[in-house]
Each structure stands twice: as structure tokens, then as C-alpha cells.
Amino acid sequence: MQRGKSVKIKEVIESLCKLLSELGVDSVPGTDTFRRAKFNKGDAVEDLWRLLYSLLSKAVRWECACQTTQEHDVDARARLVCGVLWRFGSRGPLAGAGADAGRGRSGGGGGEPRPPAGPGVGPLLREPAGEPAGRTGRGDPDHAAGEVGLSLRACLVGDVLRPRRALPAAPDGWRAAPAYRCCPVDQNSCRRVTPFPLTRKQPASLSDTMGNYAPPGPQSPTVGPEWSLLLGLGEERAAWGGPDGAGAGPGPGEWEWEGGLRRLQWEQGKLRLLWRGLQAAQAERARLLHQVLSATSGPLDTHPATSCTGHNKELERLQTDIQVLEIYLEWKQMEPLFWCWMDSVIDTELAEPSPPSHRGAVAMALESAVVKGARCQGDGGRRGTDELSETLPMLQVQLKAWRAELAGHASPSENVIASSEKARIQERVKLRLRGLTEAYAAPRPTCRRYRLRPQEHPAHRPHRPTKHCPSQAGQPIEAQASRLIEELREEEAGLRQEVERLRRGQREELQELASRLEGVVLIPPLKR
């Protein structure tokens, strides 16, 4: 490797180490360790195993038993890492001795593409088991740690511990040579770190390809019989060269083991698919049961042949209900107008002089209807006009609000209809208002109209202050008003004094504060 590139690689490894440290990975070795590990120096290899174990610890939640057994035993840790890597993808030489084997194979043919990946290059720790690929790993710290582990697996196990054939240097620091259709190891950090040129057919982590049916991840690996076998085989596979016969050739047991693993993965996938099918069947059964229940308990009958007919009927019923509700809402919007109109009508009636017999009849009718609190507004045309002037702006406000609401909810085509309707309603209201105005402006003595008002509480009609009927028994209004005015004046005076006191206090406090600050001169606001 060229000297210049080595220098560059050093910087890259430094950055990787920095990154790993930032990620909270323990036992991150120095850059020189990577270099030494490349040449299979014993001390460096041990450090790297330690690092790999730390990475796995980040990505994997060990079971307590497993952790305690591995705590101080470097070899056991290395074996465990071997096993996990082998289980989840790396089929490279997994022990230090593998480096020799790898080097032996890569001795000649510098330009020759690397032998293709073995069939058993399985998934590594990228996706949690059983989770769909599209739903996992986004912004998950564990996932990030898994990726780092993945990178280093590919980088360290694939490259450092097993140097591959050197290819012509690729441009831009990429390990790519067009003739070989190179691919980097699948992670960015790895690509930049590894000091070796890439080769064609670099095996990827199969975590990408595992998708939904990733076999159970190493969430809680235990060193059971399966793992013992696995770890043992991991060591045995140090000289394994892949099924294409490019290497030393697999032993007879390895193929069977490999096949058994694949078979297991196949069966596991099949079970998952069957489970999904059963889940769909269960959903269908629930729906059918619901249909049967609806058919037997309610008037809504669903035809068994056309499964959606019942739904359509239900939909129609809902649409009818919605229509009714819409009409009701429309009415609710119009209701204030109605009551205002009713008020004005009765005001008009009460304002005009009418025969005593008739008025008595009205009073009786009101009393008999137990319309408590109904106001008798007989002050004449002036009061009616005042009310009208109050009513008009209110009506305008309500109309505006109504229009705005309609415009907000209606589609363009509906808007056209709504606007025409609104125009009609507006016209009607205008006519009525004009009629009322005319009625108040020039009351006709012959008019005979009455109003029926519901009981009115201040809470119900907050927009209008409650007025006392002059004929109601009690103290005269003048006396109450004068007393109230006096009380209010006294209260006002008291409040003014309080405000003045508070203001003075604040001013003094401010001045005191300002005097303590050096270089600050407080210019108080002018006294009001």
C-alpha cells in the first residue's frame, strides 16, 4: 500500500475510534492496534476481540448468566463473539488462526476477484428479530450500535483478520475498481476505515435482506447446547473456504450443519407466513360473526352472498342520519335569528296600544303558559327602537359568522349553492328587519301581534341584561339606582387610593433598585 494512503487510513481509523468512543463503546483500541491486527500480531488481536465484544454488548442484551460467565474470560468472550458473528452472517475465519488461512488463500493473483461470498453469509445484528424491516431501526440507538457492530464485523473480521487479495487502488479512496464491480462492505464507516481495496462480490450483511423474517436476533443469546455446538463449529470453520470449492473445501459435517440452519430458517419463515394467514382468517371470522350477529339481532339484514351489501345499507342509514344532523345544525344556526325576530314581533305588539280586554287576554295566556320571567316591555316605541338597534348589529355578526362557517366547510360547488341560499336568506331577513323598522318607526295602532317568549335567565341570554318589570312589586327603581351609584362611587374612591398607594410603592422600589446600579440613572415617568 502506498505510503500516502496509509497516512490517510490512519486518520480514518482515528476518526472511527473517536466515533466509537463517542458512542460509548468500551475498549476502543488505538489506531496502531488496527495496523498490528492486520499483521495478526497477538496482542492486537486480543484488543480487537475485546472491542468486538464491547460492540456486541452494545447491540445485544446479554442474559445475566451469560454475562457473568464471560466477564473475565477473554477467550470465552472471543468464542462468544465468534459464535454470534457466525450465527448472524460472518462465515470468515473467526479465530486468529483464520488470518493465516485467509492469507494463504490470498497469496496469489493480486488482480483476481475475491471468491464470491459463501452461501451462509447470514444476517448480522441490524434488525431486531421478527420486526418488519420498514418499521425498525429508524433512529434507534440500539440499531445504531448494531450498525457499528456490523461495520466492524465486516471491517475487522472480513478485512483485518482475513486480508484479501489486493486490487488496484481505487480512486477517491473508494475501494472500487470498475473492472471488478466492487462493492464496499456495506457500511460507510467501514468503507472508509478499511485499508484494503475492495473486491467484487463483497458479501453484504444480510440484515438488509432478512426483512420481516429475520431469525431470532441475538437479543438474549444463551450458551446452551445449540450455542456450544455453534461455537465449536465456529472454531472448526476457521479453514472453511465456501461451498464453491475455492478454498480448502468444507468438511462433510459443515454442509449438513449449514443445510440444517437454512432449513430451520426456511421453516421459521414458513411458520411466520402461516401465522399471518391464520391471523387474516381470524379477522375474517370476526367480521363474519359480526355480520351474523347484525343479521340476527337487528333489523339490518345483510345478504350472505354479497358481503358488502350490509355495509352499504349501514352506510345509507348513516348518510340519512348525517343529513338529519346537518339539517338540525342548519336550524341551530338560524335559531338566534328566529328568536330575535320573535322578540321584535312581541315588542312591537307590546309597544302599540291595544284594547284592554285583548291585553288582559295576552297576560292571561302568558301566565297560563307559565312563561316565567317574560318581560312586559310596554315602554313604547322608544324602547322598541333601542332594542332593534341592539338587535341589528347582533344579527349582522351572526350572519357573518354563519357565512364564514359555511364558506369554510363547503366545497366550491357547494359554495355556489350556499351563497345563493345565503343571499335568499339575507334578503328575507332584510325584508323582515325593514318591516320591523317600519313597524317601530311608525307603529300602527291596528297591528295585533303577540309573542310567546320562553323563560329567560341571564345565563341563557347573556347578551341582554335582565330588565325588571316596572309593575313588579318592590322598591322604586330611582331609589335603588341612587344607592347603587353612591356605593359605586365609594368603591371607586377606595380603589383609586389603593392604586395610588401601590404606584407610589413601586416607584420607590424602582428608585431604590436603580440607585444600587452603578452608571444607571432612573428617570421616572411623568406623574399623571
Interacting residue ranges for other proteins, rule: CB under 8 A: 116-119, 121-122, 132-135, 176-178, 181-186, 188, 191, 200-206, 208-214, 242-245, 255, 258-260, 262-263, 265-270, 273-274, 276-277, 279-281, 283-284, 287-288, 305-309, 312
Residue 199: closest CA among 176, 220, 229, 222: 176
Residue 105 CA, chain-centre distance (Å), reads 52
Q: Give which of 196, 86, 68, 207 is closest to 146, Cα–Cα.
A: 207
**Beta carbon nearer to other proteins, 29 or 92:** 92
Report CA torsion sign: 165, 167, 173, 177: negative
Q: Cβ closer to other proteins: 277 or 505?
A: 277
Q: Considering the complex, what minimum distance in angstroms separates the CB of residue 250 from other proteins?
A: 8
Q: How far is the CB of 125 from other proteins (least distance, A)?
A: 15
Residue 294 vs 333, nearer CB to other proteins: 294
Q: State the minimum distance, in angstroms, from the CB of residue 235 to other proteins.
A: 22
List phi, psi (to 5°) of 438: -65, -40
Question: In sequence order, what are the residues at sequence separation of 6 or more whose Cβ sits closer than 8 angstroms to the Cβ of residue 363?
Answer: 376
C-alpha span between 108 and 284 (Å, rounded): 62
Q: Whose Cβ is closer to other proteins: residue 198's or residue 345's?
A: 198
Residues in Cβ contact with 220 at an 8 Å cutoff, skipping those fewer than 6 apart: 61, 62, 63
DSSP symbol at 459: T
- Count how many residues are written for the chain: 528
| Alpha helix (H) residue ranges in 106-168 | 141-152
Quick one: 217 or 384, whose CB is closer to other proteins?
217
Query: Closest distance between other proteins and the C-beta of residue 218, in Å?
Result: 17
Q: How far is the CB of 116 from other proteins (least distance, A)?
A: 5
Integer Cα distance of 483 and 15 in angstroms: 86
Residue 182's beta-bridge partner residues? 200
Nearer to other proteins, 67 or 279 (CB): 279
> CB 199 → other proteins: shortest distance, Å?
11
Give 21 or 307: the residue with its C-beta nearer to other proteins.
307
Q: What is the chain's alpha carbon radius of gyration, rounded to the nearest angstrom?
A: 45
Q: Is 121 helix (H, G, I), strand (E, B) or coil?
A: coil
- State in angstroms the smallest separation of the CB of 285 from other proteins: 9
Q: Which three cell numbers stand for residue 466?
A: 335582565
Closer residue to other proteins (CB): 244 or 335 = 244
Full 3-state SS string of 293-342: HHHHHCCCCCCCCCCCHHHHHHHHHHHHHHHHHHHHHHHHHHHHHHHHHH
CB of 256 to other proteins, least distance (A): 9
| Residue closer to other proteins (CB basis): 288 or 469 | 288
In whole angstroms, the minimum distance from the beta carbon of 381 to other proteins comes to: 60
Burial of residue 183 (number of CB atoms within 10 Å: 0-12, 13-18, 19+): middle
